[in-house]
A = this chain, B = another copy of it.
Amino acid sequence: MEDSVDRPSALDIVRTRSLASLVSQEIEAMILDGRLPAGERLNEQQLALRLGVSRGPVREAVRGLERSGLVVSVRNQGSYVRSVSAAEALEIYDLRAALTGFACARLAGTATPAQRAELEALVLRMEAAREADAAPAYYAANLEFHAALLTHGGGPRGLRIYEDLGNELHLFRRRALVEPENMRESNAEHAAILAAITAGDAAAARVAGEAHIAGGKRRFQATDASRPAMPGAVEPVVTARRRRRAG
């Protein structure tokens, strides 16, 4: 993400993006970083007041988030941050594996030298982060690596689907545990993917890509993350009583 290329001024932002899209972006961020935990009720008035807008844009934003799978809505009752079960999380891993394998296979045949160099640089960055035991840096580079994989190999649609699935995964567990041993294993898999792509071996790249996500799934299951974050966080039902004034 280059900030120096285009820095949209506040005026440009207001001029090109509607309030609803900004509100959507903000609510999505609030959900992903945990300010709005899974199962939480979204109070339109409260959100509108907090963001300094009216309820209209908030409602539009929530409707978009509902389509993307982050929110569920019940008529006359409200919208809730989605709760993702452990079984669903595993399903999401499988879908991501299929998508990643597809992107890797395709990239093996179509990768340009620049794309290969980009991926290699990211692997090196992750290796450096691992040696420095810098989990946040590794985490960021890992995200970039996978985004590059999907962008170049899966196109904009593949990337968007992948990211939506990732967002749903965040709903279950805010952040994957990044342990030193995991970083080593994970980046070895990254290197395998890159090697297969560089070799132009589509089948091997696909296997490597799928194996990497499967490895992530396995590492995820190995942690205590298979238990839901909130034991009582179930899907909203009509008979469920909504709690009053949580804040």
- Chain A interface residues (CB < 8 Å from chain B): 15-18, 20, 56, 59-61, 63-69, 73, 75, 88, 91-92, 94-95, 98-99, 101-102, 106, 154-155, 157-158, 161, 165, 168
26 residue pairs from A and B, CB less than 8 Å apart: A17-B75, A18-B73, A20-B63, A59-B60, A60-B63, A61-B63, A63-B63, A64-B67, A65-B67, A67-B68, A69-B157, A88-B155, A88-B157, A91-B155, A92-B157, A94-B102, A94-B106, A95-B99, A95-B154, A95-B155, A95-B158, A95-B161, A98-B98, A98-B101, A157-B165, A161-B161
* Across-interface contacts of A168 in B (CB, < 8 A): 157
Checking B64, B75, B165 against A64 with a beta-carbon cut-off of 8 angstroms, the contacting residue is: B64
CB distance from A76 to the nearest CB of B (A): 8
* Across-interface contacts of A91 in B (CB, < 8 A): 155, 157
* Across-interface contacts of A99 in B (CB, < 8 A): 95, 98
- Sort A-B residue pairs by CB-CB distance and give the 9 closest, nearest first: A98-B102, A67-B67, A60-B63, A64-B67, A63-B64, A91-B155, A18-B75, A63-B63, A67-B68
In angstroms, Cα B160 to Cα A168, docked, is 14
* Across-interface contacts of A63 in B (CB, < 8 A): 20, 60-61, 63-64
10 extra A-B contacts, CB within 8 A, seeds A18-B73, A60-B60, A60-B63 = A17-B75, A56-B56, A56-B59, A59-B60, A67-B68, A88-B155, A95-B99, A95-B154, A95-B157, A157-B168
* Across-interface contacts of A73 in B (CB, < 8 A): 18
CB distance from A152 to the nearest CB of B (A): 13
CB distance from A57 to the nearest CB of B (A): 10
* Across-interface contacts of A161 in B (CB, < 8 A): 95, 161
CB distance from A95 to the nearest CB of B (A): 6
In angstroms, Cα B92 to Cα A75, docked, is 34
In angstroms, Cα B73 to Cα A18, docked, is 10
* Across-interface contacts of A56 in B (CB, < 8 A): 56, 59
In angstroms, Cα B89 to Cα A155, docked, is 12
In angstroms, Cα B60 to Cα A60, docked, is 5
* Across-interface contacts of A18 in B (CB, < 8 A): 73, 75
Chain B's closest residue to A87 (CB) is B155
Chain B's closest residue to A238 (CB) is B16
Chain B's closest residue to A73 (CB) is B18
